[in-house]
Chains A and B, each alone.
Chain A
Amino acid sequence: MYKVAIIGAGVIGAMIARELSKYDIGVCILEKENDVAMGTTRANSAIVHAGFDAIPGSLKARFNVRGSNLMEKVAGELGVKYKKNGSLVIGFNDSDRAVLQELFERGNRNGVKDLELICGERLREIEPNISKSAICALYAPTGAIICPYELTIAAVGNAMDNGADLKLGYEVEKIKKTACGYELISGEKKICAEYVINAAGLHSDKIAAMAGDTSFTITPRRGEYILLDKECGNLIRKTVFRTPSEMGKGILVTPTVDGNLLLGPTSENIDDKEDRSTTAEGFSKIIGEARGNIKEIPLNKAITSFCGLRAVGNTGDFIINSPACGFINVAGIESPGLTSAPAIAEYVVEMLRDMGADLIEKKDFNPHRKPMHYFREASIEEKNEIIKKDRAFGKIICRCEEVTEGEILEALRTNPKARDLDGVKRRTRAQMGRCQGGFCSPHIVRLIARELGIKYEEVTKSGGESKINLRKTKGGERI
Chain B
Amino acid sequence: MTDLVIIGGGPAGMSAAIAAYEAGIRDILIIERDDSLGGILRQCIHNGFGLHKFGEELTGPEYALRYEERVRKLNIPFKTDTMVLDITPDKVITATNSDEGIFKIEAKAIILAMGCRERPKGALNIPGTRPSGIYSAGTAQKYVNMEGYMPGEEIVILGSGDIGLIMARRMTLEGAKVKLVCELMPYSSGLARNIEQCLNDFDIPLKLSHTVVEIHGKDRVEGVTIARVDDNKKPIKETYEYIPCDTLLLSVGLIPENELTKKLGIKLNNITGGAEVDENRETSLPGVFACGNVLHVHDLVDFVSEEAETAGRAAAEYINGVKASENIVEITTDGNIRYTVPQRISGKNDVNVFFRVGKAARNVKINIYDGEKPILSKKKVRVAPGEMESIAISADIVSRAKSLHFCMEE
Write the residues of chain A forming the contact surface with B, with a CB cutoff of 8 angstroms: 226-227, 274-280, 282-283, 300, 302-306, 380, 383-384, 387-388, 391-396, 399-400, 402, 404, 434-439, 441-442, 445-446, 456-457, 460-478
Instruction: Report whether A469 and B150 are in contact in the complex, using a CB–CB cutoff of 8 Å.
Output: yes
Residues of A within 8 A of B202 (CB): none
Q: Are B121 and A436 in contact, CB atoms less than 8 angstroms apart?
A: yes
Knowing A439-B117, A468-B151, A473-B150 are in contact, say whether A394-B100 is a contact too (CB < 8 A). Answer: yes
Interface string of B180-193 (1 = CB under 8 A from A): 00000000000000
Asked if residues A387 and B148 are in contact (CB atoms below 8 Å), the reply is no
Partner of A306, one of B130, B148, B259: B130
Complexed CA–CA distance, A467 and B97 (Å): 31
Least Cβ distance of A408 to chain B in Å?
A: 14
B102 touches A466 (CB 8 A): no
User: Contacts A464-B219, A466-B219: A475 and B148 contacting too (C-beta < 8 A)?
Assistant: yes
A284 → chain B closest CB, angstroms: 10
With beta carbons under 8 angstroms apart, the residue of B121, B127, B142, B174 that contacts A283 is B127
Is the beta-carbon distance between B142 and A436 smaller than 8 angstroms?
Answer: no
Contact of B213 among A280, A445, A461, A464 (CB under 8 A): A280
C-alpha spacing A434/B131, complex, angstroms: 19
Contact B125–A392 (Cβ < 8 Å): no
Please state if A278 and B127 are interface contacts (CB–CB under 8 Å). yes
What residues on A are CB-neighbors of B174 within 8 Å? 473-474
A396 touches B130 (CB 8 A): no
Report the minimum CB–CB distance from A277 to chain B (whole Å): 5
Nearest B residue to A301 via CB reads B123
Residues of A within 8 A of B143 (CB): 442, 468-469
Given that A387-B98, A470-B150 are contacting pairs, would A438 and B132 also be in contact in the complex, using a CB cutoff of 8 Å? no
B220 within 8 A of A: yes
Contacts of A456 in B (CB 8 A): 147, 149
A298 to B94, CA, bound (A): 30
Q: Are A470 and B153 in contact, with the CB atoms below 8 A?
A: yes
* Contact call B149/A304, Cβ cutoff below 8 A: no
State whether A476 and B139 are in contact (beta carbons under 8 Å apart), knowing that A468-B132, A470-B153 are contacts in the complex: no
A470 to B149, alpha carbons, bound, how many Å? 7
B120:A387 contact, CB within 8 angstroms: no
Are the C-beta atoms of A387 and B102 separated by less than 8 Å? yes
B26 shortest CB reach to chain A, Å: 28
| CB of A160, distance to nearest CB on chain B (Å) | 26
Given contacts A280-B213, A435-B117, A469-B149, whether A474 and B175 have CB atoms under 8 Å apart is yes
B97 near A395: Cβ-Cβ < 8 Å: yes
Known A-B contacts A280-B127, A305-B125, A388-B101; A473 and B120 likewise in contact (beta carbons under 8 Å): no
A contact residues around B153 at 8 Å (CB): 470
Given A474-B174, A476-B148, also A396-B122 (CB < 8 A): no
Q: Check if A442 sits within 8 Å of B147, measured CB to CB.
A: yes
Q: How far is the CA of A230 from the CA of B251 in the complex (A)?
A: 24
Does the CB pair B132–A470 fall under 8 Å?
no
Alpha-carbon gap, A461 to B220, bound state (A): 9
Measured between beta carbons, the chain A residues less than 8 angstroms from B146 are 442, 478
Residue B2 is within 8 A (CB to CB) of chain A in the complex: no
Across-interface contacts of A439 in B (CB, < 8 A)? 117, 139
Q: Which B145-176 residues have C-beta < 8 A from chain A?
A: 146-153, 174-175
Instruction: Rank and list the top 4 A-B pairs by shortest CB-CB distance, nearest first.
Output: A304-B122, A466-B132, A394-B98, A436-B120
Contact A226 B125 (CB under 8 A): yes
Verify A278–B142 contact, CB threshold 8 A. no
Return 7 A-B CB contacts under 8 Å, by A number: A282-B127, A283-B127, A434-B117, A438-B118, A456-B147, A467-B132, A468-B143
**Cβ-neighbour of A472 out of B136, B149, B152 (below 8 A):** B149
Chain B residues closer than 8 Å to A445, beta-carbon distance: 147
A434 and B120 form a contact (CB under 8 A): yes
Quick check: is B218 within 8 A (CB to CB) of the other chain?
yes
Which chain A residue has the least Cβ–Cβ distance from B43? A442
**B164 CB to nearest A CB, Å:** 13
User: Would you give the 0/1 interface string for B113-139, flagging 1 where the beta carbon is closer than 8 Å to chain A?
Assistant: 000011011110101111110001011
Are B150 and A302 in touch, CB under 8 angstroms?
no
Within 8 A of A (CB), among B57-100: 81, 83, 85, 94, 96-100
Which of B85, B120, B132 makes the CB contact (< 8 A) with A435? B120
- As a 0/1 sequence over residues 206 to 242 of chain B, the CB contacts with chain A under 8 angstroms (1 = contact) are 0000000111001110000000000000000000000
Q: Are B127 and A279 in contact (CB under 8 A)?
A: yes
Chain B CB count within 10 A is highest, among A302, A380, A387, A435, for: A435
B125 touches A478 (CB 8 A): no
Residues of B within 8 A of A476 (CB): 148
- With a cutoff of 8 Å between Cβ atoms, the chain B residues found around residue A446 in the complex are 147
A387 in contact with B151 given A278-B127, A402-B85, A467-B132 (CB within 8 Å)? no
List B contacts of A466 (CB < 8 A).
Answer: 131-132, 219-220
Closest Cβ of chain B to A272, distance in Å, is: 10
Contacts A387-B101, A394-B96, A438-B136 given: A470-B130 contact, CB under 8 Å? Answer: no
**Does any Cβ of A come within 8 Å of B296's Cβ?**
no
- Provide the bound-state CA to CA distance between A469 and B146, in Å: 13
A462: B residues at CB distance < 8 A: 132, 219
Q: For the complex, what is the distance from the CA of A438 to the CA of B143, rounded to whole Å?
A: 11
- Return B218 CB to nearest CB of chain A, in Å: 6
Contact of A396 among B83, B148, B246 (CB under 8 A): B83
Contact of A438 among B120, B128, B129 (CB under 8 A): B120
B313 contacts partner chain A, Cβ-Cβ < 8 Å: no
Is B33 in contact with chain A by the CB < 8 A criterion? yes
Q: Does B117 contact A276, Cβ atoms closer than 8 Å?
A: no
Q: How far is the CB of A320 from chain B (nearest CB, A)?
A: 31
Say whether A399 contacts B33, CB under 8 Å: yes
Does the CB pair A396–B33 fall under 8 Å? yes
Smallest Cβ-Cβ distance to B117: which chain A residue: A435
Closest to B139 in A: A438
Q: Which residues of B contact A436 (CB under 8 A)?
A: 120-122
Q: Is B376 an interface residue (CB 8 A)?
A: no
- Docked Cα-Cα span, A279 to B132, in Å, equals 18
Q: Smallest CB–CB gap between A168 and chain B, Å? A: 15
Binary flags per residue of B242-271, CB closer than 8 Å to A gives 1, else 0: 000010000000000001000000000000
Write the nearest CB–CB distance from B74 to chain A, whole angstroms. 27
Q: In the complex, what residue of chain A is closest to B96 when comparing beta carbons?
A: A394
Chain B 24-37, CB-CB to A under 8 Å as 1, else 0, gives: 00000000010000
Closest A residue, CB atoms, query B146:
A478
Q: Evaluate contact between A383 and B142: CB separation under 8 angstroms.
A: no
Q: Which residues of the other chain, B, contact A464 by a CB distance below 8 angstroms?
A: 218-219
A473 to B136, CA, bound (A): 18
Known A305-B125, A436-B120, A438-B120; judge A391-B98 contact (CB<8 A): yes
Residue in chain A with minimal CB distance to B128: A277
Residues in A with CB closer than 8 Å to B129 are: 275-277
